[in-house]
A and B are shown apart, each in its own frame.
Chain A
């Protein structure tokens, strides 16, 4: 049972983000790529927010988002991408997959936390 699912193939980012969220009172589950993320989301109905990297092996973040909306038919979970760059094409795809936000690394803790708490409220 976790509120937030952090998906990133980099263990550094994964740990940093999840530790930060945990230290601020959120319950966090982690996944190493999009495929893992889908499985975790399927098995834990409590997840209300997915924070995901874009470029990952096996399944990238955008594909995962599309599958969450499509295969899992889960329109309720908030998806936020954590990325280093962005482009109109990615944004287009993201919009279609119902991605709520884009956080450009490095992320700013307080601003991110405030919005996350709002999304989870």
Chain B
């Protein structure tokens, strides 16, 4: 049963109860109405009439006396007429009593009264006749005799009747009262019954309605309080409450879904904020930083104290912004947070997008700032979001790239000029600059002649620089030239300022020297061109430079990855300038090997160089040539046996010398070995003892013995040969190596400690910066072929705490030294 039906039932029951009550009351009043009518219309008037009867009797008596005592005939006649009327009224009254008699007693009394009335009237008639007959005395006697007797009788009867009537009336009224009180009792009873029944039904229905509602409300409150949206209110009925519960359960289900979704989103956002490699914060209306910000922000700003801080102070403290700019940002924040979104549009230009911030350690960070409004859904800006990106590295790389770009351009320009001519240009430019400097210094005041000369000097340098296309120079020289020109024309406001002019000249000198430096250091073209050897330095392919420049042009300055790649590529290209392969360095040594071998009566040995793709900077070339010339001569002289001896040992007649070039652990390692007889340790000991380097009984292991050959003046050759003994011993070799920051040692390649001869290798280690890997970043081939640069790979987002790889992985080195930069 539904609640509606229950309430309807209750209403119907109440209606029925009221109807019953009404019916009972109506019936009871109907019953009472008859009694009332009997009382009001019968008993009471009848009782009243019985009282009248007495009065009428008295009237008759009075008229009769009047008649009897009437003095004359006239009065007698009048009295007689009145008597007849009074008699009639009395009779009528009695008739009425007779008719209204409602009991045996009353009827009997009425009948008796009627009979007595007849006798009474008869006696009156007789008396009246006597009077009329003039017998007054007789009439008077009769009046007092028979008339009075009957009258007395009649009075008695009427009195009794009256009493009887009154008694009847009283009993009828009493009965009516009883009946009325019964009616009241019945109505009260019925009412009480109806109320009880209604109360009972009402209570039952009330419980049926309120209990489930209360249970539901309790359950709902529990769910709302516990936020446990997985719970459901049990449905036990199919009425309105049941349907409400079902609807509630559906709603809870939806809340459960959306709260799960919300939780997921919250988790997502938390994860993003925790892991995104960007500083993200939001600014609240009071300009404080919202407690939820990205974890990386702490890394960028180098503080953990972020939440709740004033964003101006947090972000801009120690920045390059002035108080006015900060005030503008603050006003901007005030003007747009909590206001219509248009305010952000109005004022967004006041928000700076890049700042330099000095960190507590003194390091300056360049921070890129990106602002956006967070709407509240009603068109207002609820908060400001600020993304902070540390672009220090990016800007540094961009600057490096631009510097390298300049350098590359300059290299390209230099390479386009014949070396001799370039040398001439530099020498002449420096000469002009020197002259100019002397001119300026010797003239503290303006001098027309000096200005003409100064102008001519600069003009000459500029002209030459233009001729050779050295564009990095022309604009600087042009500026100096312009100054002189304008001083010559005495332009107002321009004065001869020695310091300023010297500064300008210094800039010209620096620019010229920069070209000279690149030419000498990077390109290894010191001085005028030298016949023969010079061409070896001109190994740089112009296309290579053009391609590298192109790559620099196309690089996206906002991509760390691309910048790093470009910088490394360019750096690599630059580094390869002025490098030589080991084979090239040892060219003269290799060329001289057959002659050397012949001189020592040996078959010309083979020199096998394994350079692993490394080339060496020209600066080390001279030292290496010296060192290896000596070591290789030693190997041919002392190590490699004469052909016959070799053949006897089962070796090939010609010896083999190997040179390995490797780089590992930041060191360049050059290992020279041969397949000769090995290190003559016994001989070394003999010589060392003879030369007093060690005591005859000194206990030295093989390594210590081998080390002795580096002692000054030590020579293992039994006679000074043409070859080895040219005054340069192993001590000098060691010194050459040490001067370049390296060292040399002997490494045995077997385990036979104590043997007379032990195979060995000479190992030279040098700083790794002397070597470059030829095939590093594979940019050049594709660019050289004229292809579009390969698409930039997607940059993996660095995770905080994990360093960004600062260079692209290098391809394994397979290529030989022949590729790329050889003429």
Contacts and interface: CB of A to CB of B under 8 A. Distances in A.
Interface of A: 83-88, 91, 100-104, 107-108, 111-112, 114-115, 118
Contacts of A101: 335, 339-340, 342-343, 346
Contacts of B338: 91
A108 B340 contact: no
A87 B345 contact: no
B331 A85 contact: yes
A85 B333 CA distance: 10
A115 B342 contact: yes
Nearest to A108: B349
Interface in B313-346: 327-328, 330-332, 334-336, 338-340, 342-343, 345-346
A83 B332 CA distance: 10
A46 B330 CA distance: 35
B334 A111 contact: no
B346 A103 contact: yes
Contact of A103 (B330, B334, B347): B347
Given A91-B339, A102-B339, A104-B350, A86 B345 contact: no
A99 to B, nearest CB: 9
A-side interface mostly: mixed
A4 B330 CA distance: 28
B682 interface: no
Contact of A111 (B286, B328, B332, B345): B345
A83 to B, nearest CB: 7
B340 A104 contact: no
A88 B346 CA distance: 18
B-side interface mostly: helix
A120 to B, nearest CB: 13
A87 B334 contact: yes
B346 A111 contact: yes
Interface of B: 285-286, 327-328, 330-332, 334-336, 338-340, 342-343, 345-350
A102 B335 contact: yes
Given A85-B327, A111-B349, A100 B334 contact: no
Contacts of A83: 331, 335
23 contacts: A83-B331, A84-B327, A85-B327, A85-B334, A88-B334, A91-B338, A91-B339, A101-B335, A101-B342, A101-B346, A102-B335, A102-B339, A102-B346, A103-B335, A103-B343, A103-B347, A104-B332, A108-B346, A108-B347, A108-B350, A115-B342, A115-B346, A118-B342
A102 B348 CA distance: 12
A3 B340 CA distance: 21
Contacts of B345: 111, 114-115
Nearest to B347: A104
Contacts of B328: 104
A118 B347 CA distance: 16
A107 B346 CA distance: 7
A85 B325 CA distance: 11
A111 B348 contact: yes
B348 A108 contact: yes
Nearest to B328: A104
B340 A100 contact: yes
Nearest to B332: A104
Contacts of A87: 334
A102 B347 contact: yes
Nearest to A119: B342
Contacts of A118: 342
A20 B330 CA distance: 26
Q: Which of A84, A102, A112 has the most chain B CB atoms inside 10 A of its CB?
A: A102
Contacts of A104: 328, 331-332, 335, 346-347, 350
B346 A86 contact: no
Nearest to A83: B331
B184 to A, nearest CB: 72
B381 to A, nearest CB: 11
A86 B287 CA distance: 12
A108 B344 CA distance: 11
Given A83-B331, A87-B334, A111-B348, 13 more contacts: A84-B331, A85-B327, A85-B334, A86-B334, A91-B338, A100-B342, A101-B342, A102-B335, A102-B336, A104-B331, A104-B335, A108-B348, A111-B345
A13 to B, nearest CB: 15
A115 B347 CA distance: 12
Nearest to B327: A85
A91 to B, nearest CB: 6
A70 to B, nearest CB: 22
Contacts of B349: 108, 111
Nearest to B329: A104
B490 to A, nearest CB: 39
A114 B349 CA distance: 14
Contacts of A111: 345-346, 348-349
Contacts of A114: 345
Q: Which of A91, A101, A107, A115 has the most chain B CB atoms inside 10 A of its CB?
A: A101
A102 B285 CA distance: 15
Nearest to B334: A86
A102 B334 CA distance: 9
A87 B285 CA distance: 11
A91 B331 CA distance: 11
B679 to A, nearest CB: 82
A106 to B, nearest CB: 8
Nearest to A94: B339
Contacts of A84: 327, 331
A28 B350 CA distance: 26
A108 B349 CA distance: 7
Q: Which of A86, A91, A100, A107 has the most chain B CB atoms inside 10 A of its CB?
A: A86
Nearest to B286: A88
Contacts of B327: 84-85
A86 B328 CA distance: 9
A114 B327 CA distance: 25
B348 A91 contact: no
A101 to B, nearest CB: 5
A86 B335 contact: yes
A114 B345 CA distance: 9
A72 B327 CA distance: 35
A103 B339 CA distance: 12
Contacts of B346: 101-104, 107-108, 111-112, 115
A100 B340 CA distance: 7
A107 B332 CA distance: 11
Contacts of A85: 327, 330-331, 334
A48 to B, nearest CB: 15
A111 B347 CA distance: 8
B393 to A, nearest CB: 31
Contacts of B285: 88
Contacts of B350: 104, 108
A115 B327 CA distance: 24
Contacts of A88: 285-286, 334
